[in-house]
Amino acid sequence: MDFKVPLNTYVKMLSEHPDVVLIHRGGRVTFVNDQILYLLGYQPGEIIGNNVGDFLSAESKNKISGSAGARMILNGEVIELEAVCKGGRNKHISVRSSVINYNNKKSVLSTISDISEKKNFESILKYSENKFSALFDALNESVFIIEIETGVIIDANLKAQRMLRASKKEIVGMHYSKLHPREEFDDYIKKFEFGANLPDQIFKNILVSSGERVEVEISASVVELVPGVTVFQGIYRDITDRKKSDEQLKNSLREKEVLLKEVHHRVKNNLQIISSLFGMQLKNIKNVEYSNLVKDALGRIKSIALIHEKLYRAGSFSKINFSEYIREIITYISRYYFNESCVVNFHYAIENISLDLDRSISLSLIVNELVTNSLKYAFCDVSEGDIFVSFNKTCEGEYVLRVSDGGRGFKTPPDMAFPSTFGLGLVCDLVREIGGSIKLINGRGASYEINFKDKKL
């Protein structure tokens, strides 16, 4: 650049320039405008005559020294440097230079701008990016960021790299279809239309670098990466270990069910053997009192055995349909105490109720004792009798069992708090065991009412 007009005209133009304008020859400053005061805090007179390098950091001084610096000046490149302010603080500047003819001497004209705010913003942005990257890689899920328009993977965290056994360099730029076996991809596309009605979870196989398939659970969403830029985010969870654990748990449960079924089967069989032995012995007993004692024992054994048989056949080991059971146990008891001279009719009002094993056994023995008592003592002088059995659950969640007969009742009702017979004593103990209460109503026949509440979970 050559000045063909008076020098003072150009000096005035350069002095009014909004940026710092500096002219130097051989590194020594020959002109600088007043903007230098606002940039570095120096008056122009403190700069002129000094070497340019005196106002730069050591690193910036090295950057522009030698042939490399000369080449940047000749090419008109923008150079970012660190200038040293009058107070000693460094400030980021950008410098664009060109060679001019100043006072008939070859010189360098540099325009200098303050880029401190830009550099601070870049530092903050860099920190934010590093922080995001650290958090992204610290996630315990494999995450892929995919460009919506192209389907190309633009980022993958550390967990995703480990799952695929590939580096980020190998993953970024890959089309997401390469993550899945070819035969599954068409179905995958139907479920994963970018940006439209993404399902919460999809279970698929993913291909790792070795070609091995890994089963994953995928959660998908469309997110705004930066304002105006949306991407597809896929979170992949390796469920290999979970599937193995689930399968082991299922196998364990199956084994437990088989064992429990076998236990109930064997208990039922053993009780049946005991029952058969008592039955054989019963045939040889001539004494009516002893015969009745054996029959009572047989009824109790059968009550428990029938519970285990129903559990074995139902395949459910936590609950038993007690409404079905009541009819079966009463049918069995009535056979043992069959009396040709008296026909007993049974009447049922039973809701469909299932109970746990413990309460089922207790109630089965209670029903056995009360029905047995009615069959033995209620209809001694009549040709026909009736026994009523009801079982229901109230709105308040209380269970009510009633066993009553139309027989002769008690001449002197027993004290249910301190019963004198073994059978009623067993009934009262069992009622307490299930947390219930028992009430006897003696009139035209005996009527027992047992109340107990549902178990609290």
d(CA 103, CA 11): 11
Q: What is the pLDDT of residue 213?
A: 82
Task: Looking at the structure, give the CATH architecture of the domain made up of residues 140-238.
Answer: 2-Layer Sandwich (3.30)
Task: Looking at the structure, give the CATH architecture of the domain made up of residues 322-457.
Answer: 2-Layer Sandwich (3.30)
Q: What is the pLDDT of residue 392?
A: 93
d(CA 168, CA 156): 6
Walk along the chain (457 residues) and give the pLDDT tens digit of each residue. Answer: 454 545 556 667 777 788 899 999 988 999 999 999 899 999 999 999 999 999 999 998 888 887 777 787 778 888 999 999 998 999 999 999 888 888 788 888 999 999 988 888 888 888 877 888 888 888 888 899 988 888 899 899 999 898 888 899 999 998 888 887 776 666 656 655 554 454 556 666 766 767 788 888 888 788 887 777 888 888 888 888 888 888 888 877 776 666 666 666 677 677 777 777 777 777 788 887 787 787 777 777 777 777 667 666 665 656 778 777 788 888 888 877 777 778 889 999 999 988 887 888 788 888 888 988 888 888 888 888 899 999 999 988 899 999 999 888 888 888 888 888 888 888 899 899 899 999 998 878 899 999 999 875 4
Full DSSP string of 109-151: EEEEEE-HHHHHHHHHHHHHHHHHHHHHHH-SSEEEEEETTT-
Task: Looking at the structure, give the CATH architecture of the domain made up of residues 7-119.
Answer: 2-Layer Sandwich (3.30)
Q: What are phi and psi of 455, to 5 degrees?
A: -70, 140
The pTM for the full model equals 0.46
Q: What is the CA radius of gyration of the chain?
A: 49
Q: What are phi and psi of 332, to 5 degrees?
A: -65, -45
Residue ranges in 284-386 assigned as alpha helix (H): 288-314, 322-336, 357-377
Q: What is the pLDDT of residue 313?
A: 65
Q: Is the dihedral of CA 185, 190, 191, 193 positive or negative?
A: positive
Q: What is the pLDDT of residue 44?
A: 92
